[in-house]
């Protein structure tokens, strides 16, 4: 099974070609650039270059896996729209994956806290013990740190662990990898809806009603 994996939920623009044999992923090629402002600009070239490096074509892809966050609105939608468009044009299934789950999949064997940058001095996070123990959430780092004892986590992974000190050993990747995305996806079932995990409203809001100007 040949899987195209994409994620733009973090500052990393990630695209990879993964071959899945007997449940074991093998990354044939990947292109990753860490640039929080270049998701829309770089994702399509990364997909093209990863396929070329793997010696494969879009016609050979059996399925796509797409990180659905949590992540900032603008970056996250770039990856999801691209994956949805490719899936539609190729008539291939697109499997959504929580981007935190993808990071956790790369770090088996630990009771794990996964933390990514949510900006505004907040983090996206979830706890794991093989399976996810908590729903993805957005919180201040101090609030997450205060829950570590109750969660029973022993290690921390993700880019947020490089920004804030959670008092735990740091392991695993800072951002979702193509292999992690594929390992976290449920490729045996029907794909679920591509629903983004924004967890909070975007900064942009609709303008309010115009103020009435009184006659003098």
Instruction: Tell me whether residue 171 is exposed, middle or buried, using C-beta atoms within 10 angstroms of its C-beta: 0 to 12, 13 to 18, 19 or more.
Output: middle
The verdict on 45 and 147 lying in the same domain is: no
In a domain, 49, yes or no: yes
The verdict on 67 and 119 lying in the same domain is: no
State both tokens at 73: 């609105």
pLDDT at 215: 56
Domain CATH number, residue 154: 3.30.420.200
Q: pLDDT of 171-209, one tens digit each?
A: 999 999 999 999 999 999 899 999 999 997 555 455 556
The verdict on 92 and 115 lying in the same domain is: no
Instruction: Tell me whether residue 147 is exposed, middle or buried, using C-beta atoms within 10 angstroms of its C-beta: 0 to 12, 13 to 18, 19 or more.
Output: middle
| CA within 13 Å, CB half, 64 | 27
The verdict on 13 and 50 lying in the same domain is: yes
H-assigned helices in the chain:
39-54, 73-90, 99-105, 141-145, 148-151, 160-163, 178-184
44 close to 83: Cβ distance less than 8 angstroms: no
Interval 92-110 mean pLDDT: 97
In a domain, 210, yes or no: no
Strand-pair category, 12-21 with 111-119? unpaired
Q: Is the pLDDT of residue 36 over 80?
A: yes
The verdict on 70 and 31 lying in the same domain is: yes
The verdict on 50 and 148 lying in the same domain is: no
């Amino acid at each position: 099974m040949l899987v195209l994996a994409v994620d733009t939920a973090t500052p990393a623009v990630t695209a990879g070609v993964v071959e899945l044999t007997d449940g074991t992923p093998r990354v044939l090629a990947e292109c990753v650039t860490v640039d929080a402002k270049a998701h829309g600009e770089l994702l399509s070239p990364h997909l093209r270059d990863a396929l070329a490096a793997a010696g494969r074509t879009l016609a050979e892809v059996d399925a796509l896996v797409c990180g659905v966050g949590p992540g900032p609105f603008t970056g996250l939608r770039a990856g999801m729209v691209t994956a949805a468009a490719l899936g539609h044009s190729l008539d291939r299934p697109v499997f959504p994956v929580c981007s935190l789950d993808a990071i956790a999949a790369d770090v088996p064997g630990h009771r794990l806290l996964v933390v990514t940058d949510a900006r505004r001095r907040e983090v996206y996070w979830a706890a794991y013990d093989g399976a996810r123990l908590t729903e993805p959430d957005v919180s201040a780092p101090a609030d997450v740190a205060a829950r570590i004892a109750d969660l029973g986590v022993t290690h921390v992974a993700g880019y947020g662990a490089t920004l804030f000190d959670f008092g735990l050993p740091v392991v695993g990747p800072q951002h979702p990898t193509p292999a992690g995305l594929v390992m976290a996806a449920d490729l045996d079932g029907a794909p679920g809806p591509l629903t983004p995990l924004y967890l909070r409203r975007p900064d942009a809001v609709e303008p309010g009603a115009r103020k009435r100007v009184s006659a003098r």
